[in-house]
Amino acid sequence: MSEHILVVGAGLAGLSAAMHAIGSGRRVTVLEAQDEVGGAAGVWATPDSVFDTGPTVLTMPDILASVFAAAGAEMDDHLSLRQIEPAYRGYFPDGSTLDVLTDVDAMADQIANKISPAEARGYLGYVDYVSALYRHEISSFIDRNLDSPLDLLRPDLLALLRMGAFRSLDAKAAQFLRDPRTRRLFTFQALYAGVAPTRARAIYGVISYMDAVNGVFLPDGGMAAIPAAMASVIEQRGGVIQLGTRVTGVQRNAAGAAIAVRTDDGQRLPADAVILAGDRSRMARLLADGRSDLRPLRYSPSAYVLLAESTAQYRNIAHHNIHFGRSWAQTFAELESGQVMSDPSLLVTHQNHPAPGSAPAAGPQRYYVLFPAPNVRAGPVRDDYLGIMLDELEHRGYRGFSDSITAHRLTTPGGWLMQGYPAGTPFSAAHSFFQSGPFRPGNCAGRNIAFAGAGTVPGVGIPMVLLSGRLATERLLSPR
């Protein structure tokens, strides 16, 4: 039994691992190099505004609640969530719009009225399909440590094969959704996994279940409230969080077991087990032998992310707004070949968008604008891209946006690289077939060392990262 577990990294994966370890009765210390918890779920503040800088979409709150429950806490006592409705608003080149409504009947009615009753029936069939994907994937292939392709040989695999889950996502969606607008609206989520919808396998339709069917949520206080609440529970349960503490190496004994970590200020902190929670390639370099056992990986596309404090209010937008360009397959081909999108599709999140029935937020408006881009291994960083983004926003209906900005921050693929993200992408290794499940870099780093985070199993996104913390703890406490 591991009594004292050291967790390196206080992002969502590390905090999840710590909460599961505390719940199992272990003593836990979390070491974080930065001066705040949260990792990628950080903040940027101006004198008048506080922005979420990382993930903006929270799905599957039951997974988050299970992390609190593992530590003996009720999530609702520490964190208040509200469902965002619509989950997204989609804008199309022909001027039409579609709201993604998680009320399936209301969504079907909207599609019937705006497109056709036949398309609405197809949507209902697609909902049934992705819901079945989730049921077959979650316990057998997502929320589970997989050490070998042989671990895939379960009854759920046969069910997925029968469902055509390893065929093209775009082709499978087209069996249900004939209109290109609905098809884009319910397949673009594959981009979260770093795979173009036109090239993804249908198994990634599970992501559209997570947000378009199960819903998108927002914590009071923004996304940074999640790690803050998790850290609070850890400390209430006796865990220790040391901020501003950079780990420089893991000390191992002759048998390869971790016995301590060393920090840049000269501390040697003994441990019975170590969880390395952060980018897996960077964390692997902390092992005392300096090894990095990672094979070459294909990384997801990156993004230019603009945080803009603005005096402008746009009454007809939603919280999350997806603006689709005319191009689709061509856009993804450009990203993979290292070119910026000639006809971009983009996300605009209005971070202080009022809840239904509430008055517009007073004071500055907070806009988070994301343009997908090649990662730095695929192509060069464009230093002039801010102007391109602002021109495109004006073209997409955000009139006067450029002149309304009172403060801004732009993060480029080069900026992500400087922050320590491999290939300059915050979206980690792409979820291609041979970088998913048992083929994804594993979380076992030794007898009592485990990895957690987006770069290991199960993968990218808040629900997956939270699960990675549990799987890492399970790896140490219940070795196979």
* Domain annotation for the chain: domains and CATH numbers: 4-82+222-297+428-477 (3.50.50.60), 104-214 (no CATH), 301-424 (no CATH)
Query: ∠ CA 267-268-269 to the nearest 5 degrees?
Result: 110
Distance from the first to the final alpha carbon of the chain: 14
Asked if the bond preceding 458 is cis, omega within 30° of 0, the reply is yes
Question: Percentage of the chain surpassing pLDDT 70?
Answer: 96
Dihedral over Cα of 58, 59, 61, 64: its sign = negative
Compare 197 and 127 and report the one with higher pLDDT: 127
Q: Which helix (DSSP H) or strand (DSSP E) does residue 375 occupy?
A: none
Rounded distance between C-alpha atoms, residue 293 and residue 291, angstroms: 6
Distance CA 319, CA 36 (A): 27
**Confidence (pLDDT) at 360:** 76
Question: What is the residue type of 441?
Answer: P
Rounded to two decimals, the pTM is: 0.95
**Residues 221-232: what's their mean pLDDT?**
98
Flag whether pLDDT at 147 surpasses 70: no
For residue 438, pLDDT beyond 90:
no
- 364 torsion bin: left (phi>0), alpha (psi -120 to 50), beta (else): beta
Q: Measuring CA to CA, which residue among 452, 454, 469 is closest to residue 422?
A: 454
Contact 60, 463 (CB under 8 A): yes
* Chain segment 344-384, per-residue pLDDT in tens: 999 999 999 988 777 777 889 999 999 999 999 998 888 78
Map tokens 């039409």 to a residue.
96
- Residue 58 carries which DSSP code? B
State whether residue 309 is helix, strand or coil. strand
Instruction: Report residue 212's pLDDT band, with 50, 70 and 90 as the boundaries.
Output: very high
Q: How high is the pLDDT of residue 442?
A: 87
Q: Which residue has the higher pLDDT, 411 or 354?
A: 411
- Helix 117-137 × helix 169-176 angle, to 10°: 130
Q: Are strands 405-411 and 302-310 parallel, antiparallel or unpaired?
A: antiparallel
Q: How many helices (H) and strands (E) does the chain have?
A: 15, 20
Q: What local confidence, expressed as pLDDT, does residue 347 receive?
A: 98
Alpha carbon separation from 10 to 269, 426, 441, 475 (Å, rounded): 17, 16, 21, 19
Residue 291 has pLDDT above 90, yes or no: no
Per-residue confidence at 203, pLDDT binned at 50, 70, 90? confident
What average pLDDT does the segment 388-397 reach? 97
Looking at residue 367, what is its pLDDT?
Answer: 98
pLDDT given for residue 436 in this prediction: 80
Measured in degrees and rounded to the nearest 5, phi and psi for residue 292 equal: -135, 110
Handedness of CA 304, 309, 311, 316 (dihedral sign): positive
- Interatomic CA distance for residues 26 and 198, integer angstroms: 46
Stretch 255-282: mean pLDDT: 94
Q: Answer yes or no: is pLDDT of 433 > 80.
A: no
Total Cβ atoms within 10 A of residue 254: 5
What is the C-alpha separation between 173 and 192, in angstroms, rounded?
A: 17
Instruction: Report, as an integer, the average pLDDT of 152-157.
Output: 74
At 293 the pLDDT is 54
User: What confidence tier does 447 reach under pLDDT thresholds 50, 70, 90?
Assistant: confident
The residue with greater pLDDT, 127 or 195, is 127
Rounded-to-10 torsion of CA 472, 17, 216, 365:
-130
Give backbone dihedrals phi and psi of 89, rounded to 5 degrees, phi first.
-120, 125
* CA dihedral of 394, 398, 404, 409, whole degrees rounded to 10: -80
pLDDT per residue over 38-75, tens digit each?
999 999 999 999 999 999 999 999 999 999 999 999 99
Beta strands 81-84 and 50-52: pairing type?
unpaired
Q: Where are the beta strands (DSSP E) in 243-301?
A: 247-252, 258-263, 268-270, 273-277
- Map tokens 């509200």 to a residue: 82
Q: What confidence tier does 1 reach under pLDDT thresholds 50, 70, 90?
A: very low
Cβ partners under 8 Å of residue 296, min gap 6: none
Average pLDDT over residues 330-351: 93
* pLDDT score of 152: 64
